[in-house]
């Protein structure tokens, strides 16, 4: 058996640290706690498996902490941000954050994000399974074939490039700019309306109910995420219903 993953929690609010300490230790994570950016940057030398980083810290902007952590390592970072700070989330993702959770957060959602981020981190860089499946969707990247519930779906080249980009980063949020650069090119990075149109088309072709997408999720103000089945976590339906949340 491998040892329990070590998580560094950088968060100034004591009640959130206490709460997360209880939750994370109950789920067999080991924890280092830091109440300031300065403590966090020192604690990062202990090489935790993942960092949970609050963006609102007393001594240094969380984005600056991100920047400093990223100059030293590729350690997975999940950001905690307050509601309404979409700009900060986008900035954090562009600085290399692996994911974010918005306060007040749902515990099951946070745990699912941690598991998914740790799983992705253990996979060799750039490697993705040649065949992706989630729900009734199947995408064969080697052959460029897409099917839903066993039926082949025809995608235009741009739709396919957009889907393939989401598949290659399945489970991770991609910002509007990430997707526009990857699919259309650098000069299109501000053309968010392209994305809206093409995501709409993909949902019509791939989702059972395009108005309530289950796989191609909008992350408001940030970007899009292709959901994956989380084999060791609660179902996505279940964690939206979970009542436990943190103020």
Task: Determine the residue with CB nearest Ca ion.
Answer: 56
Stretch near Ca ion under the rule CB under 5 A, chosen from 49-57, 102-110, 134-142, 208-216: 49-57
12 binds Ca ion (CB under 5 A): yes
Q: Are strands 6-10 and 50-54 parallel, antiparallel or unpaired?
A: parallel
Cα separation of 135 and 208, whole Å?
Answer: 10
How many residues at the interface with Ca ion, by CB under 5 A?
A: 3
DSSP-derived secondary structure for 116-165: HHHHHHHSPTT---SEEEETTEEEETTTTEEEETTEEE---HHHHHHHHH
Nearer Cβ to Ca ion (4/61): 61
With CB under 5 A as the contact rule, the residue among 56, 96, 210, 233 that binds Ca ion is 56
Shortest Å distance, C-beta 204 to Ca ion? 41
Stretch near Ca ion under the rule CB under 5 A, chosen from 10-18, 102-110, 114-122, 199-207: 10-18
54 binds Ca ion (CB under 5 A): yes
Stretch near Ca ion under the rule CB under 5 A, chosen from 42-50, 55-63, 123-131, 177-185: 55-63
Give how far Cα 100 sits from Cα of 29, 77, 91, 245, Å: 19, 8, 11, 16
Residues in Cβ contact with 59 at an 8 Å cutoff, skipping those fewer than 6 apart? 36, 37, 38
List residues binding Ca ion (CB under 5 A).
12, 54, 56
């Amino acid at each position: 058996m491998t040892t329990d993953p070590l998580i560094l929690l950088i968060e100034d609010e004591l009640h959130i640290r206490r709460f997360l300490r209880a939750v994370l230790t109950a789920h067999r994570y080991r924890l280092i706690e830091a109440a300031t950016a300065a403590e966090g940057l020192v604690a990062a030398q202990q090489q935790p498996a993942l960092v949970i980083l609050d963006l609102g810290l007393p001594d240094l902007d969380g984005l600056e902490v991100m920047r400093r952590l990223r100059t030293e390592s590729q350690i997975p970072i999940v950001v905690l941000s307050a509601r309404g700070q979409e700009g900060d989330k986008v900035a954090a993702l562009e600085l290399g954050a692996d994911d974010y959770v918005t306060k007040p957060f749902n515990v099951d959602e946070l745990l699912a994000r941690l598991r998914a981020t740790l799983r992705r981190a253990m996979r060799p860089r750039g490697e993705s399974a040649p065949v992706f499946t989630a729900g009734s969707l199947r995408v064969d990247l080697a052959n460029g074939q897409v099917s839903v519930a066993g039926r082949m779906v025809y995608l235009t080249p741009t739709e396919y490039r957009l889907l393939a980009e989401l598949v290659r980063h399945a489970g991770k949020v991609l910002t509007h700019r990430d997707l526009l650069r990857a699919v259309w090119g650098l000069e299109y990075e501000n053309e968010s309306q392209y994305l809206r149109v093409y995501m709409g088309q993909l949902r019509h072709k791939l989702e059972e109910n395009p108005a309530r997408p289950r796989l191609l999720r909008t992350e408001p103000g940030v970007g899009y995420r292709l959901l994956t089945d989380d084999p060791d976590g609660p179902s996505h339906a279940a964690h939206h219903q979970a009542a436990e949340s943190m103020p």
